[in-house]
Structure 1
Amino acid sequence: MSVGRLRELHRSLKQVLDSVPEHGRDADRKFDAVAGRFLVDWFATDGRNQASNPEIWPYLTILVLPDLAVRRFGPDSTGRLPKDRYLSGRRNIFYRAYLRSWILGDLLSDPELPLYEDDLVGLVDRNLSADHRVARIIADQIRSLSGNENRREIVRNGLKAIQYELRVTDLSSLDDSGIRTAVSLAFHGPDFQHTDVFTRNASEAPAWL
């Protein structure tokens, strides 16, 4: 990117983040959602190949957007910044926001989809996002649990089950129907009942289930 383009990136992102409160309930989540959506649109224009370069993110975080980065993850009580939020990797401030928005899209802003931080960490930050179809289907499954009083526990156990299954099964090799069946069973177990989002059909289950 040219210097002028980098300045435009900072100016434009700061402008959209000015609408996000710096304190209060959900301030951090809103920051991530707004920044992520902006960066997805930005790299759609500038080229996704740039976003795929892991070294672009610490460069942007430290040299181009440092004031915005500190706003999101400032120094601790000793005055030190969290290194993993500024260096390359999935925990980088802006890369994690970009990746979540790119994978989950408008699901992040859907009022019927209360995706909380723990859910997002399990869904995206812990390598469940290698296949974006899998991540989106998991997000749909989480949405189907809205209002369930045991939702948090079901989500936690479901994500653990999927992470375990990914060690032995290539979910990306399945079609969408097979992935939905596998995800449903991971979240609900053998006693899974029909919901509006997923239809259990034994004939659709992959052979390994």
Structure 2
Amino acid sequence: MITYYPRLTDSYSMLLIADFTDKSPDELAKEVQVHNEMAFYSPLATHPVPTQEIEELRSSLLRVAEDCGFPEAMARSQVRDFDQRAAAVLYDSLDLVPAEAANQEIWNYITLSVLPDIAAWRYPNISRSPSFERWLGVDRNVFRKLWWREATLGRSLNALLGEDEAVGIMERPSLSGNPAVARAIIQSFDRVYPEFAEFGRSDLLRAVMVNIRRHLPLVDFEFYEADELQEFISEIIYAACKNYADVQRESSSI
């Protein structure tokens, strides 16, 4: 049975974003509306989400945010902790099938009606854009991206990623669109990295991702069995790490 969640249109959501931009997280806590009169359901909705589940989602995420300093500005050292814990809460609390999770109107509702204060705390709308991609329910939405990270990678692999590393993989649909490839990259990189630990993990992964993307027009990863895919990805990653290390060592010796 599919659980259906309320939705907010993009046009109404952009009005909310414009109104919320200059408000603090404390002020936005007063804007929370689990029952939003502008929200609507899919015409196919047969099992609307119980209100209690939405309230529990908010309570759980608020506890995680408070542990990470909410409503004060988040320290950089707390970003990874919040994102990973929030991803787990979102995935465990939201009974979403992939087709529903791909609907941005659902994330409009979750972000702007249920969690506007936490969204603004995690990503202030410094640009003052009414279509701010971290609040509007598009792919880079603050909560949508975390749910998909957990759904694509699983908890143990997601726990290995920092923010920059997650962006390098998850915000490239050509890679994250195939969960097997995304997981193989993380597993292989985690095994290879200790040999090159003298270099920054994020810098090294960026070099790896450049090398992997070079293969995308030439290789159809869908044809590989799991073991073959893991071996092939490992070879690409090792070659990229070695090349990066050789260049860096040569530069430092000049």
Amino acid at match of 2:197: N
1:17 aligned residue: 65
In the TM superposition, residue 138 of structure 1 has moved relative to its aligned partner by 0.7
Amino acid at match of 1:138: I
Q: CA RMSD in A?
A: 2.5
Q: What fraction of aligned residue pairs are identical, expressed as a percent?
A: 29
Q: Does 1:54 align with 2:104?
A: yes
Aligned mate of 2:217, from 157, 167, 172: 167
1:66-77 aligned within 5 A: 66-76=116-126
Going from structure 1 to structure 2, the CA distance change for 1:81 and 1:53 (only over 3 Å counts) comes to closer
Going from structure 1 to structure 2, the CA distance change for 1:80 and 1:190 (only over 3 Å counts) comes to closer
In the TM superposition, residue 126 of structure 1 has moved relative to its aligned partner by 1.2
Indicate if the aligned counterparts of 1:75 and 1:82 stay in contact, CA closer than 8 A.
Answer: no
Q: Runs ≥4 in structure 1, deviation > 6 angstroms? A: none
Asked which structure has the greater CA Rg, the reply is: 2
2:93 aligned residue: 42
- SS of the residue corresponding to residue 55 of structure 1 reads helix
2:177 aligned residue: 130
Instruction: Find the aligned partners of 1:53 and 1:141 in 2 and give their Cα distance.
Output: 32
1:183 aligned residue: 233
Aligned residues: 185
Indicate if the aligned counterparts of 1:16 and 1:34 stay in contact, CA closer than 8 A.
Answer: yes
- SS of the residue corresponding to residue 75 of structure 2 reads coil
Instruction: Find the aligned partners of 1:190 and 1:101 in 2 and give their Cα distance.
Output: 26
1:5 aligned residue: 53
Instruction: Find the aligned partners of 1:3 and 1:152 in 2 and give their Cα distance.
Output: 40
Structure 1 residue ranges without an equivalent (≥5): 193-209
Instruction: Find the aligned partners of 1:186 and 1:140 in 2 and give their Cα distance.
Output: 13
Instruction: Find the aligned partners of 1:133 and 1:191 in 2 and give their Cα distance.
Output: 21
Going from structure 1 to structure 2, the CA distance change for 1:48 and 1:190 (only over 3 Å counts) comes to closer
In the TM superposition, residue 177 of structure 1 has moved relative to its aligned partner by 1.8
Amino acid at match of 2:189: I
Q: Does 1:33 align with 2:81?
A: no
Q: Which has the higher contact order (CA 8 A, sep 6+)?
A: 2
In the TM superposition, residue 81 of structure 1 has moved relative to its aligned partner by 7.3
Indicate if the aligned counterparts of 2:53 and 2:93 stay in contact, CA closer than 8 A.
Answer: no
2:27 aligned residue: none
